């Protein structure tokens, strides 16, 4: 077996580890009994939760004081590796910070990266990661051929997070060396886009709108339906790019991955980019004018029709039922 | 500042409208046939042209790497208004991983002279590894702001709104720097007829990996190897009905059966 120890790049939100972090820890501990979390920030509040999900140790940089995680955390990781603790594998979430830290570290270590994965195995071929391509229709297994640490990132919801009832992880300081010009960018303000109702990637029902809505004003139909169903509104990349809704609404390869009980696609044709983000939904309802639209190929219920007619009728009926 | 020197990294990719396929011998994405400018890169080119215009002029140049001498996608960027192109074309670069690509692009950017700003898309539309801009920044020893959705220059630094999970951060970053811009950050212009004609005679310098002092790793040295390609279990299509004015009832019954309403 090629894996001795694993690091997981850990992130927090609202004082707790993110779901994505717990997903990666759960997978990591199935591959190795020596799992550490590595966090760009302070770990005292989360060492308990990280330990519960399988980390025995957590390396923590302490407060980054506005530094971007890419240069800072990768430099701290490099220093620990140079100091003698070199893991076989470092797992990253496929998100903004995960990609930046992984990319900077790949240059510092001169190692390749495998991104957009949904699985990892320790096999006769070595450490093998699985990536879905062509909208998830084809799975490619790729083995690392060089020396570790192997740098690999995973899409959200690739693994189910399960507690291991582990003891709190021991916190080890990982100081950030001087990063020079490369680390000169600073965060000067943080903006949180408030949304009411359940979070898009945690909602039981997601209603998403696309170009078929015709104009930005029609997106309110999607929001109204989502609210009535106690779900979250989402969007295709096309209408996010067009500026109708914020990026945080985007479902797809470059947005959120959702797996709700019900996914309703309104006026979405089903580009590969979008399908990757919602194909794991338990049930899919699609409404689209074009009966050839690819979205109907994955829909459990497909309505060939005009969203401007179907959605208002649906909203009225649901309202009348209270 | 007396004009800015901006370099935009662009990728030429197979037309996304045609179905993708894997090469039987290498298991890599087939990239033969005509390549076009990745739509994601049009935003970077447009952003560069606008920033140059707003900050005292200066040059917008483009750099691209392709194994087969392909230039048609670069001509699109030149037609939009970029001044000249640098193409790194070398059959030995086929099969390069993202890190090698970043090394090649970084070496080419250094050869092009002192850039104030280097712009790339967040990820390509065909390979979408999504690490090349940040890897280039690390190789060049530069700061970076990835996933920038708004960008302004103020003297010797830039201000960017950077996408985050919960919203966005305002980031201050000294120049020179590497920026990756999200799609939709600006509205890319369509090349004019005049622009298309002018682009035909704009210079594109061509280099090999050896010219840049980069050792191509190719298929063997990429540090990764495809060991299996399998078909995922396909999702079965369900019932598709034409709306006769009552389809909404069907949706309600469907939701009732699932006990979600």
Domains of chain A: 6-183 (3.40.50.620), 205-321 (3.40.50.1220)
**CA of B200, closest CA in chain A: separation in Å?**
30
Whether B261 has its CB under 8 Å from any CB of chain A: the answer is: yes
Decide if B247 is inside a domain.
Answer: no
Q: Which residues contact A173 (CB under 8 A, 6 or more apart)?
A: A59, A60, A62
Return the structure tokens found at A129.
């990661």
Q: Could you tell me if A289 and B223 are in contact, meaning their C-beta atoms sit under 8 angstroms apart? A: no
Q: How far does the CA of residue B225 sit from the closest CA of chain A (Å)?
A: 5
- Domain assignment present for residue B225? The answer is no
Partners of B27 on chain A (C-beta within 8 Å) are 140
Q: Looking at chain B, which residue has its C-alpha nearest residue A124?
A: B227
Residue B78 sits in which domain range? 6-212
A16 has a chain B CB within 8 A of its CB: no
- pLDDT tens across B90-144, in order? 988 888 899 999 999 999 999 998 899 999 998 887 778 889 999 999 999 999 9
Strands (DSSP E) contained in chain B are 6-9, 12-14, 35-37, 60-66, 84-89, 117-121, 144-154, 157-163, 167-174, 177-181, 204-207, 224-231, 239-242
Would B128 be classed as within a structural domain?
A: yes
Residue B227 in domain:
no
The ipTM, to two decimals, is 0.90
Mean pLDDT (whole number) for B236-258: 94
Say what the pTM is. 0.89
Test B251 with A310 for CB contact under 8 angstroms.
yes
B142 touches chain A (CB under 8 A): yes
A319: contact with B, CB 8 A cutoff: no
Distance between CA atoms of residues B118 and B24, nearest Å:
36
Overall domain count for chain B: 1
Helix (H) or strand (E) holding B166: none
Q: Is A125 exposed, middle or buried (0-12, 13-18, 19+ CB in 10 A)?
A: middle
Residue B219 is predicted with a pLDDT of 66
Q: Where are the alpha helices (DSSP H) in A263-302?
A: 272-278
- Hey, how many other C-beta atoms are within 10 angstroms of the C-beta on A275? 24
pLDDT tops 70 at residue B1: no
| B63 domain-assigned | yes
Answer whether residue B64 shows pLDDT above 90.
yes
The CATH number that applies at residue B201 is 3.40.50.620
At a CB cut-off of 8 Å and minimum separation 6, what does A201 contact? A156, A157, A256, A257, A258
For chain A, say whether B138 makes contact (Cβ under 8 Å): yes
Q: Which of B152, B154, B255 to mutate to test the interface with A (most CBs of A within 10 A)?
A: B255
- Does the CB of A298 have a partner CB in chain B at under 8 Å? yes
Across the interface, of A102, A144, A243, the residue whose CB is closest to B184 is: A243
Interface test with A, best of B38, B235, B257 (most A CBs within 10 A): B235
What is the structure's pLDDT at B2?
66
**Residue B68 — very low, low, confident or very high, per pLDDT cuts 50/70/90?**
confident
Residues of B whose CB is below 8 A from A108: 138
Question: Can you give B192-237 as a three-state secondary structure string?
Answer: CHHHHHHHCCCCEEEECCHHHCCCCCCCCCCCEEEEEEEECCCCCC
3-state secondary structure of B261: coil
| Interface contact B155, partner A, CB < 8 A | no
Mean pLDDT by 10 residues, chain A (322 residues): 91 93 98 97 96 98 96 98 97 95 97 95 95 82 94 93 96 97 97 82 94 96 96 94 88 88 96 89 96 94 97 96 78
CB atoms within 10 A of CB A157: 18
Q: State the average pLDDT over residues B39-49.
A: 93
Predicted confidence at residue B94, as pLDDT, reads: 83
Name chain B contacts of A154, Cβ cutoff 8 Å: none
Contact of A93 with A208, CB cutoff 8 Å: no
Using the Cβ of A248 and the Cβ atoms of chain B, whether some distance falls under 8 Å is answered with yes
């Amino acid at each position: 077996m090629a894996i001795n120890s694993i690091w997981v790049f850990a992130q927090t939100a609202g004082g707790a580890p993110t779901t994505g972090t717990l997903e990666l820890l759960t997978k990591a501990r199935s591959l190795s009994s020596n799992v550490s979390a590595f966090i760009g920030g302070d770990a005292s509040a989360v060492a308990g939760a990280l330990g519960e999900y399988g980390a025995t140790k957590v390396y923590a940089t302490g407060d980054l004081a506005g530094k971007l995680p890419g240069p800072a955390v990768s430099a701290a990781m490099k220093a620990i590796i140079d100091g003698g603790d070199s893991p076989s594998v470092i797992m990253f979430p496929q998100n903004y910070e995960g990609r930046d830290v992984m990319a900077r570290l790949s240059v510092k270590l001169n190692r390749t990266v495998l991104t957009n994965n949904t699985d990892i195995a320790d096999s006769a071929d070595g450490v093998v990661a699985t990536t879905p391509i062509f909208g998830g229709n084809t799975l490619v297994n790729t083995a690392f051929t060089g020396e570790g640490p192997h740098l690999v990132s995973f899409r959200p919801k690739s693994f189910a997070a399960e507690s291991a009832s582990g003891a709190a992880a021991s916190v080890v300081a990982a100081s950030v060396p001087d990063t020079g010009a490369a680390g000169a960018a600073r965060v000067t303000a943080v903006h949180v886009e408030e949304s009411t109702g359940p979070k898009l990637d945690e909602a039981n029902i997601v209603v998403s709108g696309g170009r078929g809505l015709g104009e930005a004003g029609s997106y309110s139909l999607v929001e109204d339906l989502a609210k009535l169903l106690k779900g979250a509104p989402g969007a295709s990349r096309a209408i996010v790019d067009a500026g109708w809704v914020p990026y945080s609404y985007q479902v797809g390869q470059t947005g959120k991955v959702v797996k709700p009980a019900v996914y309703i696609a309104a006026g979405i044709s089903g580009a590969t980019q979008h399908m990757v983000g919602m194909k794991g939904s338990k049930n899919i309802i699609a409404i689209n004018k074009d009966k050839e639209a690819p979205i109907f190929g994955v829909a459990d219920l497909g309505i060939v029709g005009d969203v401007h007619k179907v959605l208002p009728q649906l909203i009225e009926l649901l309202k009348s039922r209270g | 500042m007396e004009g800015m020197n901006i370099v935009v990294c662009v990728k030429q990719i197979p037309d996304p409208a045609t179905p993708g396929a894997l090469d039987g011998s290498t298991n890599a994405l087939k990239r033969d046939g005509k390549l076009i400018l990745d739509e994601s890169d049009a935003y970077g080119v447009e952003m560069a042209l606008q920033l140059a215009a707003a900050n005292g002029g200066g040059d917008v140049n483009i750099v691209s790497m392709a194994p087969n001498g392909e230039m048609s996608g670069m001509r699109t960027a030149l037609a939009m208004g970029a001044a000249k192109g640098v193409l790194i074309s070398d059959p030995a670069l086929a099969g390069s991983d993202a890190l090698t690509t970043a090394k090649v692009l970084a070496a080419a950017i250094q050869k092009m002279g002192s850039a104030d700003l280097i712009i790339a898309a967040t990820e390509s539309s065909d390979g979408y590894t999504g690490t090349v801009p940040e890897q280039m920044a690390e190789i060049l020893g530069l700061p970076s702001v990835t996933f920038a959705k708004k960008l302004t220059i103020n003297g010797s630094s830039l201000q960017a709104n950077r996408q985050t999970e919960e919203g966005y951060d305002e980031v201050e970053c000294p120049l020179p720097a590497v920026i990756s811009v999200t799609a939709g950050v600006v509205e890319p212009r369509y090349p004019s007829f005049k622009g298309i004609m002018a682009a035909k005679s704009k210079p594109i310098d061509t280099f090999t990996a050896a010219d840049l002092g980069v050792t191509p790793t190719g298929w063997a040295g990429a540090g990764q190897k495809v060991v299996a390609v399998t078909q995922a279990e396909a999702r079965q299509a369900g019932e598709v009905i034409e709306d006769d004015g009552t389809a909404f009832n069907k949706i309600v019954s469907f939701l009732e059966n699932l006990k979600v309403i």
